[in-house]
Amino acid sequence: MMSKEEIRSEFPILSREVNAKPLVYFDNAASSQRPLKVIDAISDYYKFSHSNVHRGVHSLSQEATNLFEATRAKLQKLINAKEEHEIIYTQGTTEGINLVANSFGEAFINEGDEIVISNMEHHSNIVPWQMLAEKKKAILKVIPIDERGQLDIETYKNILSERTKIVALVHISNALGTINPVKELASLAHEYGAAFLVDGAQSAPHIAVDVQDIDCDFYVASGHKMFGPTGVGFLYGKEEYLNKMPPFMGGGEMISHVTMAKTEYNVLPFKFEAGTPNIAGFVGFGAAIDYIEDLGLDFIEKEEQELLAYAESKMKGLEGIRFIGTAEKKASLISFLVDGTHPYDIGTLLDQMGIAVRTGHHCTEPIMDRYDIPGTVRASFAFYNTKEEIDYFIECLKKVSSMLL
């Protein structure tokens, strides 16, 4: 196994300075950094292989198509999807959820039907369902969270009914770090015949995911949180649902035959992939998946859990720290407040010391309303972060707090 120094050397950005200080990048929940393997794959594609995919008989087109489609097979293996064509390319988690809300909603949601989400969802897993409920005159039900930032499972059980058509829940909260028991939650939804969608934006980069074991009907994630490019992601959907859902967008590629009278739609997965895609992005995404597989998600999870435990133990010794999100099972992020300060001020001053953290509501305003707070400071760790960086962060946090109080 590579040393931490060897791993960090593969990420060029980690060697730069910010405000004349060595960069400490603790904003991985927003977007991870990219290894050279990904950067080089994108560069090499544009240098040597660029062409449009699926549409040409010439060598460059076939070469580009092979590179592009190879990522689909890698994604299937990564999350253990049953079929390769159950992997739909998207621009990211947001598009994946919107695709399901629109297409599943068109096929399966009627007036008076119920949609279930939770109070810890990212706005991307709230707004599309609100829009669908308004359009279809459906009912949106919300699972509350407790003081520790965990779902109220008993209330969830009571919310479910024969009218529930789909449950859409986050796997790991981007604002709290809570890891939800999605396998159990999916099983409960299926008892009522409801479909189950997992927002995997924060789980795919950090823990092993097996969609067949979870038995979710849909799973969505983003490349840019998985050490890959921005503007790419994927939707996994069970074939039985995808075949019954209408296309999300119309155009080239998603058709098999077009006349002025009628259009016949293409087979999966192309039925949901209209237009020229971000080819270079998916080539880079494939390289990112290779990198994840080479390191191993077990290694990634172990490293990040060690960083989380170390940071929490250090922060518990500081005065005036209030943790937001203390679930029993957590991913590698810490949301917190410092008594008497505003999160924005903490983040701004830490930036002057070279430390990148996220401040604000993290696109989860309902969570902040639940705790009656304006936002939090969020430090989120990846396997390439170090305990030395955490020590420096703690030192700087002490200085910042003393400056503001």
As annotated, the active-site residues are: 363
Alpha helices in 234-385 (DSSP H): 239-244, 279-295, 297-315, 343-352, 365-371
Local structure of 195: helix, strand or coil: strand
**Residue 3, φ and ψ in degrees, nearest 5:** -75, 165
CB atoms near residue 102 (< 10 Å)? 19
Q: Which residues contact 296 (CB under 8 A, 6 or more apart)?
A: none
Strands 255-258 and 263-265: antiparallel
Say how far apart CA 404 and CA 337 lie, in whole Å: 13
- Kindly list the strands in the beta sheet with 358-360, ordered across the sheet, starting from the edge strand earlier in the chain: 321-323, 333-338, 376-380, 358-360
Say if residues 206 and 304 touch (Cβ distance below 8 Å). Answer: yes
CA dihedral 16, 18, 22, 26 (to 10 degrees): -100
Residue that the structure tokens 């705790």 belong to: 371
Report how far residue 265's alpha carbon sits from residue 187's, in angstroms, rounded to the nearest whole number.
32
